[in-house]
Structure 1
Amino acid sequence: MKKVVWFVLVFTLFGCSGNGEKFDGVFEGRPRVNPPYVVGNYPGTEFIFAIPTSGERPMTWTVEGLPEGLTLNEKTGIIRGVVKEAGDYGVKITAKNAHGSQVSELQIRIGKELALTPVMGWNSWNTFGQHLTEALIIETAEALIANGMRDLGYNYINIDDLWQLKERGADGHIVIDSTKFPRGIKYVADYLHERGFRLGIYSDASKYTCAGVCGSLGYEEVDARDFAEWGVDLLKYDYCGAPASRDTAIVRYRKMGEALRATDRSIIYNICEWGRRKPWEWAKEVGGHYWRTTEDIRDAWDLRESGTGLYGIMDIIDVNGELADYAGPGFWNDPDMLVVGIFGNSSSINSGKVQYGCTLKEYRTHMSMWCMMAAPLLSGNDVRNMPDSVLNILTNPEIIAINQDQLGIQGKMVKKEGDCEIWIKPLYKGEVALAVMNRGEQAEKVEVPLQLAGFVNKALVRDVWLHRDLGEYESLKLDLEPHVTVVLRLTQH
């Protein structure tokens, strides 16, 4: 008879890691080069990449195998330049500090694809809404450097709605709100690029945006050229004020997609029509790199019984989790931005007679499941001022590595027991991420045979939140508190 080994893991306190292995913070210890380990760019367009590296500063970087046209700043770890020739380029990176060095490999793919791993960064809307300024963007960039988020891969800083005036200028161009951006968008882009970030911006496939300022309908080529000249690297393209017709949406999104592709920049295209016209079936063909699959996220655990028609974290998982077959490198399902650490303090995404805000364990489940679903990770909290408990969720390198895995497979739910769901995400080199989520209101016991993850015999098990190797097991038995998610990384014995 086959022997079954049980491991009992009881979560009674959120974030309990007292018995785990020591895990250095972002700016402690030896260098650790973090993902992504594969990046894409169009030929003949600007390439910007800050090597995401944890470890004590000061640190220096060296590289071998950079394609012609790229250079490395050895003191900042930022690679910039323009590669004219398409091709796959293998680059050897060495990061070194007082504690030692680490060697890593980066694949730079110059060709037709961008966003080879899910986009990571920050977006202004969820917390700040209309309170958007040049100062906020610059302060956010400096905060992402100071708190280590850039060194974990958060490299897009996205300006959302209300950066522009309501009416287009007499010359046919969108008018930047000079009270918010007195030195213009190009100044902000240049500032971010010098620090290894990329800039995202927002518009709408209608005359006006969701907030009622100037959209891009009929001026797609003009606006795309302006965005490129300013140094924009990502466009979030909304659909407020546009006809409900799927055919119309496809035409309008294709028009902007073609305009973006005709510029001299590698601009990632976010199609944001809230999943109403099933964009996962057509967004890739019109130039999209990731597409919203649901209505806007709210800072809440579950809103199904609220009667509001709004979407909390669980509601979105139920929709996005069914769409794994449509995702892959360069093309991602987008279950909307992260609400980790907002704690109900948003006038932009929270409305109605609902109590908003989540607990830390709920935010950790939110982060866990977005990583399991290979979703874009765009934080929306005030990163200039957040407690360490929130920062630790957003900067866990092990959960981020699951999200940024270069195989690019969206995880799927494979089994449900009571209110507990078991999810599997295949990883590069034969490893597997396994998540067990208790979405219910009571503690649950759940058995997890590792055959569900494709392991015939024992697997080596590591808890990515405890940062702890647990040992070799054939099966696990977990005792989960309400709203807790355990994420394990499994390796063949």
Structure 2
Amino acid sequence: MGWNSWNTFATDIDEKLVMDTADLFVTLGLKDAGYEYIVLDDGWMAKERDENGNMVADPQKFPNGMKALADYVHDKGLKFGLYSCAGSKTCAGYPGSRGHEYQDARSFASWEVDFLKYDWCNTENLNAQGAYETMRDALAKAGRPILFSICEWGNNQPWEWAENVGHMWRVSGDITNCWDCEVDHGGWSSWGVWKIINMRENIRYAAGPDHWNDLDMMEVGNGMAVAEDRSHFAMWCIMASPLILGNDLRIANTKTIETLTNSEVIAVSQDPLGIQGFRVSNKDSVEIWAKPLFNDAWAMTFVNMSDKVLELHYDWHDGVVEDKLNDLKLEIGTHRYTIKDLFQHKKLGDTSRKLEATLDQHDVLMVLLEKKEEP
């Protein structure tokens, strides 16, 4: 859980932005909600390495250097992250780590970096698994625990090999702030929320504690409707994706912060079983997803995919909710479950009756189901 600069700021970043963001993590309640990493993406480094081949911070953007900035973030009780790239240059044209992996890892460790996002631009003829293993080994050799975020966009099926290489791996190209669109940049595309959700439907087996399918930084607060932001956040939690903010916290409104700091929804994301959720059904313009949780509980989302208000009438006995991968089943036939609406924070009875709700366009009903103690 954390924040990354790219979605909103691209390379227009500086020391004050990081310090302001760290301050806001505390004052807006994000730290208390569990967010901890402040990650600078592409563009923090100078255009050239120094005379010894070391990567250095841009002196105009970061006059006090990375160690001082990391110290500031750490003093807030938070963690600090940086970006690099497996290629000769980063995606924005700054020095990459190719050929400097061990040197750069030592620099990151000396600056007390806690998180490394490692991109995949300008990687001519490199083998993806080998390149990421090289940086993994370099980080280990440097001797500082650093969360390793693999960002090769899912092109080389990292879910097949990255569990012992990194802690999280991107499954798609870059996200963009729309519901279900593709933005063609000529040679590559940005993807809307539901495009990413639907892109990799069969890789949930690869996710688990300390090794996650990463659906990219979130676009909550970046221009979509409030209902769409809620659905976006709920689905990232159901799918056990890392929760990395991508908005400008300095201008975030109350609704955005309310969504992002919802402790009951976050608890679904952070459930200790670490199981990625799955689609139960998709009919009549409603997507239903489920996620098994600790202590025989379940979370479910009901998302209105249409552009009109829908009335939901869900019969718990109509069909089976079953996680065949983990041999877990919602035991409606033998147990009643209490139902709680996690966004409205209210109880909705139990599974002995149909679930009735009104769903605004692109909005979500997210519920927690817990086994009811029988008298």
Partner of residue 281, structure 1? 160
| Matched letter for residue 145 of structure 2 | S
Counterpart residue number, 1:199: 80
Q: Structure 1 CA distance, aligned partners of 2:331 and 2:115?
A: 38
In structure 2, relative to structure 1, the CA distance for the partners of 1:335 and 1:225 (3 Å cut) is same
Seen in structure 2, the aligned counterparts of structure 1 residues 254 and 306 have a Cα distance that, compared at 3 Å, is closer
Q: Distance in 2 between matches of 1:361 and 1:276?
A: 31
2:33 to 125, 128, 152: 152
Q: Residue 374 of structure 1 aligns to a residue in which SS?
A: coil
Q: CA-atom RMSD, angstroms?
A: 1.7
Q: CA deviation at 1:477?
A: 3.8
> How far off is 1:389 after superposition?
1.0
Distance in 2, Cα, partners of 1:136 & 1:374:
28
Counterpart residue number, 1:341: 221
The amino acid of 2:34's aligned partner reads G
Contact 1:340 1:363 in 2 (8 A): yes
Instruction: Work out which of the residue numbers 47, 50, 53 in structure 2 matches 1:169.
Output: 50
| Total equivalences in the alignment | 357
Q: Does 1:252 align with 2:118?
A: no
In the alignment, which of 311, 314, 317 is matched to residue 447 of structure 1? 314
Relative to the length of structure 2, the TM-score reads 0.91
Higher helix share: 2
Say yes or no: does 1:395 pair with 2:272: no
Whole-angstrom distance in 2 between the partners of 1:473 and 1:244: 55
Contact 1:337–1:377 under 8 Å retained in 2: yes
Alpha-carbon spacing, 1:169–1:385, altered in 2? closer, same or farther (3 Å): same
Structure 2 residue corresponding to 1:208, chosen from 89, 92, 105? 89
Cα distance in 1, alignment partners of residues 191 and 70 from structure 2: 33
1:473 maps to what in 2? 351
The yes-or-no answer on 1:363 pairing with 2:249 is: no
Alpha-carbon deviation of 1:374?
0.6
**312, 316, 319: which one aligns with 2:196:** 316
Further displaced range: 169-178 or 314-323:
314-323
In structure 2, give the amino acid aligned to 1:331: H
Q: Match for 1:298 among 156, 170, 176?
A: 176
Q: 1:66-87 CA distances to partner (integer Å, 9 max, x unpaired)?
A: xxxxxxxxxxxxxxxxxxxxxx
Distance 1:166 1:320 in 2: 36
1:490 aligned residue (365, 369, 372)? 369
- For normalisation by structure 1, the TM-score amounts to 0.70
1:128 corresponding residue in structure 2: 9
- 1:430 paired to 2:296: yes
For 1:327, the equivalent position in structure 2 comes to 207
Deviations 1:241-268 (A, max 9, x none): 11376xx111111100111112221100
Q: Distance in 1 between matches of 2:230 and 2:262?
A: 10
Deviations 1:30-80 (A, max 9, x none): xxxxxxxxxxxxxxxxxxxxxxxxxxxxxxxxxxxxxxxxxxxxxxxxxxx
Which residue does the alignment assign to 1:190? Answer: 71
Displacement of 1:201 in angstroms is 0.3
Task: Measure the CA separation in 1 of the matches of 2:259 and 2:289.
Answer: 20
Q: 1:326 to 1:448 in 2, by over 3 A?
A: farther
Structure 1 position 484, deviation (Å)? 1.1
Task: Give distance in 1, aligned partners of 2:110 and 2:39.
Answer: 17
How many Å separate the matches in 1 of 2:275 and 2:53?
42
Q: Is the 8 A contact 1:161 1:209 kept in 2?
A: yes
Report the secondary structure of 2:68's partner residue: helix
**Range with greater deviation from structure 2 (382-391 or 229-238):** 382-391
On the 8 A contact 2:338/2:348 being kept in 1, the answer is yes
Identity of paired residues, percent? 41
Structure 1 letter corresponding to 2:262 = N
2:324 matched residue in structure 1: none
Contact 2:239 2:277 in 1 (8 A): yes
SS of structure 2 residue aligned to 1:196: coil
Q: Partner of 1:231 in structure 2?
A: 112
Check the 8 A contact 2:297/2:369 in 1, yes or no.
yes
Question: Does the 8 A contact of 1:320 with 1:335 survive in 2?
Answer: no
Q: Relative to structure 1, is the Cα distance of residues 244 and 473 closer, same or farther in structure 2, using a 3 angstrom cutoff? A: farther
Q: 1:305 to 1:212 in 2, by over 3 A?
A: closer
Rounded to whole Å, the distance in 2 between the matches of 1:263 and 1:465 is: 43
Do the aligned partners of residues 236 and 432 (structure 1) sit closer, same or farther apart at CA in structure 2, a change above 3 Å counting?
Answer: same
The answer to whether the 8 Å contact 2:332/2:351 transfers is no
Q: CA deviation at 1:178?
A: 1.0
| Structure 1 position 263 matched with structure 2 position 142 | yes
Unpaired runs of at least 5, structure 1:
1-119, 344-357
Distance 1:306 1:132, change over 3 A: closer
Structure 2: segments with no counterpart, 5+ residues: 322-329
Alpha-carbon distance between aligned partners in 2 of 1:135 and 1:409, rounded to the nearest angstrom: 38
Asked whether 1:179 is paired with 2:60, we answer yes
1:419 corresponds to 2:285? yes
**2:39, 2:81 within 8 Å by CA — same for their partners in 1?**
yes
Q: 2 CA distance for matches of 1:388 and 1:135?
A: 23
Query: 2: CA distance between counterparts of 1:181 and 1:306?
Result: 33
SS at match of 2:249: coil
Structure 1's 378 and 217: CA in aligned 2 closer, same or farther, altered over 3 A?
same
**Match of 1:310, SS?**
strand
1:408 and 1:196 mapped to 2: Cα distance? 25
> What is the letter of the counterpart of residue 318 of structure 1?
N
Instruction: State the Cα distance separating 1:479 from its structure 2 match.
Output: 3.7
Over 3 Å counting, the alpha-carbon distance change for 1:145 and 1:301 in structure 2 is same
Query: 1:39-50, aligned counterparts within 5 Å?
Result: none
Match of 1:89 in 2: none
> Secondary structure at the residue paired with 1:185?
helix
CA apart distance, 1:307: 10
Is the partner of 2:202 in helix, strand or coil? Answer: helix
Measure, in 2, the Cα distance between the counterparts of 1:385 and 1:197.
Answer: 21
Q: Name which structure has the greater RCO, CA cutoff 8 Å, separation 6+.
A: 1
